[in-house]
Structure 1
Amino acid sequence: MLEARIIRVAAILTLFAILGSGLVTFTYQITAPHIAANERATLLRTLNALISQDQYDNDLFNDFIWVQNEDLLGTNQPVTLYRARQAEQPVAVLLTPVAPDGYNGAIRLLVGINYNGTLLGVRVISHQETPGLGDYIETRRSNWILDFKGRSLTNPSESGWRVKRDGGVFDQVTGATITPRAVVKAVHKALLFYQQQRNALFNKDNPSS
C-alpha cells in the first residue's frame, strides 16, 4: 500500500511539473514578442535622444555591426555599433562602450558620434553607482552628461579630457570623482576608436545581412 501511494504521489508531482513547464513555455511564447517590441522601442527612444529621425533615413535599429577592442571600448565582449545614413551616405555612429572602472563596477554607455568626429551626445544605459551620489551621470538626476555634446578629440585637447580635479575641463561632484572620471575616459577612448576605424565601420557587413 505504501509503495502504491508513493507511486501515485510521484505521478501527480510529475504531472504538475509537466503542466507547469508547459505553462511557462506557453506564457513565454505569448509574451516574448511583446517584450522584444518594448525593448526595441526603448532602444530606439534612447538612440533618437542623440540623433533625431530627420537626420537619417535608413533602418537605424537594423543597420548595425559588432566591434571589439578591449582597450578602447572597455570590454572583451563584442560591442554593438549602429550606423546612421542619409541617402546612403554615412551620417553618424552610435556605439555602446563600457566604462569598466566605475565606483561600483562597469558603466554601460551609449555614445553618438557624427561622421566628422564630433559627439552627438552620451547617455548612460546601465550602472551600479551609489544612489544620490554617483548616479548624477543619469539625465534624470542632472545635466552633467549633456556636456559631452559637441566635444571632439580637439575640443578639448587631450589634456582636457579629464575631470577638473585632474586638470581637465569636466566637472565632478565632491566625493564622487571616480564615477565621472571613468565616464570621461571611456568617452575619450570611444572617440579614439572611431577616429582609427571610421571608414571601416561604415564598410563592414551587417551580421544579419
Structure 2
Amino acid sequence: MLREIYLSTALLAAFGLVGAGLVALVHMGTAERIEANREAATLARLHEILPDGEYDNDIINDTTVLSHALLGGGQHLVYRARRNDEPVAAVFTVIARGGYSGDIHLLVGVRENGQVAGVRVISHRETPGLGDDIEASRSDWILGFDNLALDDPPMERWAVQRDGGIFDQFTGATITPRAVVRAVRDTLIYFDTHREQVFTPIPVDPTDEEAHADE
C-alpha cells in the first residue's frame, strides 16, 4: 500500500515537473514573439513620423529617458535618430495634460533643426466623434503640425483659433485640440533648451569594449 502511494506521488511529481517545463518553454517562445511584435508596432508608428530612410541607426535601442514638466511630468522615453552618428531627429513620448477626458499620450517628432517631423496620438479617452479627431485615422488635423517650428508660427500663435492661434478647434471640442497644441509647443520649447542633452550618446559599457577587443 505504501509502495503504491510512493509510486503515485513520484508519478505526480514527474508529471508536474514535465508540465512546468513545457509551460516555461511555451512562455519563453511566446515572450520572444510578443517582444518582436511590440518592437515592430513601435517601429511602424515611428516610421509614420520619421521614414526609415532618413536615419541609419537602431532607433528602437538608441533611446534616453528624460523628465521635465514641459514633457508632461514624470519620465519620458525619447527615440533618437542619427545618420553617420550625427543627430537627425528625436521622437518624444509626451503627455498632453488637460484633455477633456484626461491625459492624452503622444509621440512628437522634432528634427535636429527644430522643425516638427510629425505628431501621432498613442492613447486617449476623448469623446468618440468629437475629441477623437486628433487621431490620424479620423482626420488630418494632427498633420497640421508637420514642418512647423517654435518661431513658425510665432509663439503667441501656437494656440487654437479661439485663443488667437492658427490651429483649428473641433466643433464642440475645443479642450482636446488645445491640450495637444500646448503639448507640442512645450515639447519644442524643451527641445530648444535641452538639445545637447537629448542627443547625448548612450554610454558604452567598458565590459562590451573588452569583449570586442578579445574577438
Q: TM-score, normalised by structure 1?
A: 0.85
Q: Percent identity, aligned pairs only?
A: 46
Counterpart-to-counterpart distance in 1, 2:88 and 2:82: 5
Q: Give the Å deviation of 1:207.
A: 9.3
Counterpart-to-counterpart distance in 1, 2:168 and 2:204: 39
- Could you list the runs of 5+ residues in structure 2 that have no partner in the other structure? 1-12, 209-215
What per-residue deviation string (whole Å, max 9, x for no partner) do you get for residues 18-72 of structure 1?
A: 89x9486555333111111111001001111111111101111110000000x20
Equivalent position of 2:31 in the other structure: 32
Structure 1 or 2, whichever has the larger Rg, is: 2
What per-residue deviation string (whole Å, max 9, x for no partner) do you get for residues 174-208 of structure 1?
A: 11111000000000000011001101221253599
Counterpart-to-counterpart distance in 2, 1:58 and 1:42: 18
Equivalent position of 2:72 in the other structure: 74
Count of paired positions? 191
Q: For the Cα contact (< 8 Å) 1:63–1:206, is it kept in 2?
A: no
Mapping for residues 68-107 of structure 1, pairs under 5 Å: 68-69=67-68, 71-76=69-74, 78-107=75-104
Q: SS where residue 82 of structure 2 aligns?
A: strand
* Structure 1: 4+ residue segments shifted above 2 A: 21-30, 204-209
* RMSD between superposed Cα atoms in Å: 2.1
Q: Which amino acid aligns with 2:166?
A: V
Equivalent position of 2:44 in the other structure: 45
Counterpart-to-counterpart distance in 2, 1:95 and 1:124: 12
Counterpart-to-counterpart distance in 2, 1:207 and 1:163: 44
Mapping for residues 52-201 of structure 1, pairs under 5 Å: 52-69=51-68, 71-76=69-74, 78-201=75-198
Q: Which amino acid aligns with 2:106?
A: L
